[in-house]
């Protein structure tokens, strides 16, 4: 390791990146201030405009400046339209709105694929108003800055300045703050809430478009992923350092993070180590800032999902028993069908069935953590990865049931570590820290077979033995070979059924009602003697155990996999599953997996169909069917019960309870 140094060019390069983070952070803070939403679609809001700019200038030969004006108008329209869609959700739990923005970002991504937006010649360079750059240093140490970098250095500060002037000179800044604190009071005080909210989203979309246009040249024309999760996380860290409220601090923090990252990259020479450092920065920002964030934002911490209230049969005993029988019959029917299916379909389709069963296990593990305990995890594939690592190292040598147990326990231990911040960080911020954890697993841990400490010569082998491409032969279980896809599908189904049985026991026989109680009313549960910290960590541990078990199956289904298979987008996909299925419902989680893995496969797998089913599915279900597929199932069960029940058994009227008690 060389001595620590800070060459001038690293600072300038860091400044270029940092200005981008700062602009993104401004947009995140703006939306948070006006709607109390962490906007995961923020990056994607402006990407459509950036893609369209390339189409107009390169494909159609339109002059840069009028094209720029046009795409900024497009961004404003997208911003206003987004607000119009999300407005329906403003009285719902904030976590749910955040998940809705994830769905929205996927839909916006689909928009960039449309032929009237996407440029035909993907290989050509991204348009720039000028190309003159400059060079710092000479000889081998020289570093060239392109016209795109110059553009960023000029435009980003101007954009931030324009925003500052807008807030200083117009009454909208104050109106936005008032609205965020209490929309109803603001409305009574004369703030036109809808217009103010729309304005915030339009400004955010414009900021996003500027960011995307500035960032696009450096990425070539493959900029649909320009604003991926790693970029978003850096912007989030900056926004959090600004306590999600201060625009100047967030912008400055973005620049600081950019410079810090470049300087560290120059000195550390190792991407995993750099990612670990950036993760530490984010967690530190969260822990330091969390106190400031919690004051005045009490509502968002009461994360009751408020699902499943409607459509319950609160009837006489006979009907209730019949309804339960109908439910069991349905479950038996579904499991029976799933057991017969692998024998009927081709080997390829059996592979698909295995994938559905494995994803169903992961979705069920999210149901335990998010649906019951209310802790939103956007990094569940980090825990699945732990299981996969255990499988890759142990499956060839140990009997499979033992591997499953060990993987589950390891994953549970890691989950407890991930859950520790949950004792201090809540809701949205916990979700951010779990996302950061998943990114850390993907970029640092999986990619690094063994860590060694430079000072102590200490070795720790935590990653995949061969991160580039791992092959695992499927072992046998109880003397039965799992090599054929059919056999493996049955094995995966067996794991799923056992998991469903365990989860049923947790919910009906004691463990999980404390999870729900702590989610619904932490203070009340604590006053009744429930140990809140223990309960939350237990939820993480149980969920982690299931994720680890699923991780072994996940590794054995694909057999050949890379670290990329555990990306943040996979984590988001499984969260989409439980929301589409109906948050908190175990059957729903399974249905969600069938929908999100099975349906895209029916139309030919690919990112496009994946995003179409999950993105549009998320929005439709959150907006119009909050109970998810499980609610549909419940209604179906009620209808069957109603059909079977004799009409004489009617529902008891609700009586005034106090009279009953005191008489």
In the complex, which residues of this chain contact another protein (CB under 8 A)?
Answer: 304-309, 312, 314, 320, 502, 505-506, 509-511, 513-514, 516-517, 520-521, 523-532, 538, 542, 584, 652, 654-662
The CB-of-313 to another protein minimum distance in angstroms stands at 9
Number of Cβ within a 10 Å radius of residue 470: 21
Q: State the greatest distance between any 2 C-alpha atoms of the chain, in Å, as a whole number.
A: 96
The CB-of-309 to another protein minimum distance in angstroms stands at 6
Whole-angstrom distance, CA of residue 182 vs CA of residue 428: 19
Whole-angstrom distance, CA of residue 353 vs CA of residue 341: 9
Whole-angstrom distance, CA of residue 173 vs CA of residue 108: 27
The CB-of-636 to another protein minimum distance in angstroms stands at 20
Whole-angstrom distance, CA of residue 386 vs CA of residue 365: 14
The CB-of-662 to another protein minimum distance in angstroms stands at 5
The CB-of-541 to another protein minimum distance in angstroms stands at 8
The stretches of 216-373 forming alpha helices (DSSP H) are 229-241, 247-268, 271-294, 317-344, 347-366
The CB-of-512 to another protein minimum distance in angstroms stands at 10
Nearer to another protein, 274 or 413 (CB): 413
Nearer to another protein, 457 or 510 (CB): 510
CA neighbours closer than 13 Å in the CB half-sphere of residue 357 = 32
Nearer to another protein, 172 or 507 (CB): 507
The CB-of-538 to another protein minimum distance in angstroms stands at 7
The Cα angle at residue 45 between residues 194 and 612, in degrees rounded to 5: 105
Whole-angstrom distance, CA of residue 149 vs CA of residue 132: 10
Whole-angstrom distance, CA of residue 576 vs CA of residue 617: 8
Q: Is the dihedral of CA 25, 28, 30, 36 positive or negative?
A: negative
Nearer to another protein, 483 or 505 (CB): 505
**Which tokens in the block code for residue 348?**
């390829």
Nearer to another protein, 230 or 520 (CB): 520
Strand-pair category, 560-561 with 470-471:
antiparallel
Whole-angstrom distance, CA of residue 211 vs CA of residue 231: 11
Nearer to another protein, 173 or 584 (CB): 584
Which regions of 156-229 does DSSP assign to beta strands (E)? none
Q: How far apart are the first and last CA of the chain?
A: 83
Number of Cβ within a 10 Å radius of residue 223: 21
Nearer to another protein, 203 or 630 (CB): 630
Nearer to another protein, 85 or 316 (CB): 316
Nearer to another protein, 168 or 657 (CB): 657
Nearer to another protein, 647 or 653 (CB): 653
The CB-of-513 to another protein minimum distance in angstroms stands at 5
The CB-of-630 to another protein minimum distance in angstroms stands at 14
Strand partners, 143: 136
3-class DSSP assignment, residue 279: helix
The CB-of-533 to another protein minimum distance in angstroms stands at 8
The stretches of 420-521 forming alpha helices (DSSP H) are 427-440, 485-508, 511-520
Which regions of 505-587 does DSSP assign to beta strands (E)? 560-561
């Amino acid at each position: 390791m060389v001595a620590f140094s800070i060459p001038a060019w690293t600072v300038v390069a860091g400044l270029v990146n940092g200005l981008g983070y700062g602009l993104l952070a401004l947009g995140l803070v703006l939306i948070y201030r006006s709607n109390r939403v962490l906007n995961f679609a923020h990056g994607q809001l402006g990407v459509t405009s950036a893609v369209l700019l390339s189409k107009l200038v390169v494909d159609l030969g339109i002059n840069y400046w009028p094209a720029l004006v046009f795409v900024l108008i497009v961004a404003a329209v997208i911003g206003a339209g987004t607000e119009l869609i999300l407005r329906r959700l403003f009285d719902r739990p904030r976590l749910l709105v955040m998940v809705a923005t994830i769905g929205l970002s996927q839909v916006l991504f689909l928009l960039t694929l449309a032929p009237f937006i996407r440029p035909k010649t993907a290989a050509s360079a991204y348009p720039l108003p000028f190309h003159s750059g400059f060079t710092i240093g000479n000889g081998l140490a020289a570093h060239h800055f392109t016209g795109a970098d110059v553009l960023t250095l000029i435009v980003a500060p101007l954009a931030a300045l324009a925003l500052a002037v807008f807030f200083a000179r117009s009454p909208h800044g104050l109106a936005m703050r008032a609205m965020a604190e209490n929309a109803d009071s603001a409305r009574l005080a004369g703030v036109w809430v809808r217009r103010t909210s729309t304005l915030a989203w339009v400004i955010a979309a414009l900021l996003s478009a500027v960011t995307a246009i500035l960032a696009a040249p450096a990425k070539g024309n493959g900029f649909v992923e320009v604003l991926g999760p790693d970029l978003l996380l850096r912007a989030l860290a900056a926004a959090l350092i600004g306590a999600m409220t201060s625009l100047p601090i967030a912008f400055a923090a973005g620049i600081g993070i950019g410079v810090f990252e470049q300087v560290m990259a120059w000195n550390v020479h190792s991407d995993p180590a750099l990612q670990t450092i950036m993760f530490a920065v984010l967690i530190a920002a969260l822990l330091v800032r969390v106190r400031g964030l919690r004051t005045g934002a009490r509502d968002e911490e009461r994360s009751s999902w408020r699902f499943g209230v409607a459509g319950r049969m609160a009837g006489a005993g006979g009907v209730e028993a019949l309804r339960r029988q109908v439910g069991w019959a349905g479950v038996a029917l579904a499991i029976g069908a799933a057991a017969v299916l692998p024998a009927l379909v081709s080997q390829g389709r059996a592979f698909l069935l295995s994938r559905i069963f494995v994803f169903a296990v992961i979705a069920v593990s999210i149901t335990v953590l998010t649906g019951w305990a209310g802790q939103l995890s956007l990094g569940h594939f980090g825990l699945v990865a732990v299981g996969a690592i255990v499988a890759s190292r142990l499956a060839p040598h140990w009997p499979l049931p033992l591997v499953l147990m060990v993987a589950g326990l390891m994953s549970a231990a890691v989950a407890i570590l991930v859950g520790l911040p949950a004792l201090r960080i809540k809701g949205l911020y916990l979700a951010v820290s779990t996302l950061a954890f998943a990114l850390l697993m993907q970029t640092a841990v999986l990619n690094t077979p063994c860590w060694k400490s430079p000072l102590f010569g200490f070795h720790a082998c935590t990653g995949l033995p061969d991160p580039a491409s791992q092959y695992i032969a499927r072992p046998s279980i109880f003397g039965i070979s799992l090599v054929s896809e059919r056999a493996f599908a049955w094995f995966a189904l067996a794991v799923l059924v056992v998991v469903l049985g365990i989860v049923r026991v947790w919910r009906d026989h004691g463990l999980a009602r404390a999870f729900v109680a702590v989610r619904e009313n932490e203070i009340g549960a604590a006053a009744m003697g429930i140990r809140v910290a223990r309960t939350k960590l237990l939820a993480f541990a149980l969920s982690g155990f299931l994720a680890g078990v699923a991780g072994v199956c996940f590794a054995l289904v694909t057999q050949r996999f890379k670290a990329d298979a555990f990306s943040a987008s996979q984590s988001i996909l499984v969260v989409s599953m439980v929301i589409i299925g109906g948050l908190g419902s175990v059957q729903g989680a399974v249905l969600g997996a069938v929908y999100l893995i099975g349906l895209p496969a029916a139309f030919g797998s690919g990112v496009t169909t994946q995003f179409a089913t999950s993105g549009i599915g998320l929005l439709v279900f959150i907006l119009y069917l909050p109970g998810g597929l499980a609610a549909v199932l419940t209604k179906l069960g009620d209808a069957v019960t109603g059909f079977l029940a004799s009409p004489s058994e009617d529902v008891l009227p609700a009586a005034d309870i106090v009279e009953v008690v005191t008489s």
